Amino acid sequence: MTALEQLKQYTTVVADTGDFQLMKQYTPQDATTNPSLILKAVQKPEYRPLLEQATRDHHGQAGLDAVMDQLLIAFGCEILAIVPGRVSTEVDARLSFDTQATVAKARHLISLYEQRGIARERVLIKIASTWEGIKAAEILQRDGIRCNMTLLFSLAQAVACAEAGAQLISPFVGRILDWYKKQAGDNWDAAANAGDNDPGVRSVRQIYDYYKKFGYATEVMGASFRSTGQILSLAGSDLLTISPDLLEQLAASDAPVARKLSVEQAQAANIARIAADEAAFRWQLNEDAMATEKLAEGIRLFAADAVRLEKLVGELAG
């Protein structure tokens, strides 16, 4: 068996791409997208028609917002024709600090999917794991709209998401590693911080163990990987969302894959509960420089790519 096939024995594999042609090669259960991935995809000739059609059909109705929403839905529907499970579609990052606007946008996106015959159970609405985003997810989950909490870098964020009843969280492994490497500079010891000792891997394991220890139903989906080593160190996580280049590496490898995370180990661990109210959340996040900086940076980057995508639409619309 390939490493990818072995991994699928322990973990649900999700494709992290807007390039749905590539998904067919690796048979993932689910797929995730974000503004950066969509922006990258629509610049390829084979996806240009989706952008052109969304612009042509919807620009006259409500301007850029309508085209952007329809473009996201178009990609999502194409992806759902390939994967048997769910697709994640992201709310505009510029709404990350506005609970009511996030709720309104999520409801609108779900309504667009349902107009195309897609059941809401097959869609996860991606929302940044700010306090306002988490409160939006709490409202949406009660409506039967399932949420994928993204840009998540800390246990404080993860616990608040679980308390809110979010369907799924996407803790970012690679971006955590990036921060610690940058902080260490020339003193970074790659060997000492590899495998199970990778700071991003340790963060996800801590979250996974906390959830399983205390019986939270929220799914854990490791994301933002820099290497197959990070992925294999989290074998056993509920889900892992993996980019096409790393899926290819796993499919080409026959290295043995062992389960690293398990409910049994988590339940046997000595873990203390942490508070998840707003004051505790904000203080714990403030005390975690890495999580604070990477959350803010991630929101800025996704927002910037949304602006670039809008610019492409504007140019097409003339």
* CB under 8 A, 24+ apart: contacts of 38-41: 38/71, 38/72, 38/75, 38/309, 39/305, 39/308, 39/309, 39/312, 41/17, 41/75
> CA torsion angle for 263, 266, 268, 273 (degrees, to 10)?
-130
- Judge whether 87 and 124 are in contact, CB under 8 Å: yes
- Judge whether 223 and 151 are in contact, CB under 8 Å: no
Distance CA 202, CA 180 (A): 12
182 catalytic per annotation: no
- Which residues does 179 contact at the CB level (< 8 Å), separation at least 6? 290, 293, 294
- What are 147's strand-pairing partners? 125
Amino acid at 207: I
What residue spans of the chain are helical by DSSP H? 3-10, 20-26, 35-42, 48-62, 64-80, 99-115, 131-142, 155-163, 173-184, 199-214, 228-232, 244-251, 263-268, 278-287, 289-317
Which of 8, 40, 105, 126 is labelled catalytic? Answer: 126
**DSSP structure class, residue 63:** T
**DSSP structure class, residue 304:** H
Distance CA 258, CA 243 (A): 21
Q: How many degrees, rounded to 5, is the angle at CA 134 between CA 141 and CA 180?
A: 135
Instruction: Name the residues annotated as catalytic.
Output: 126
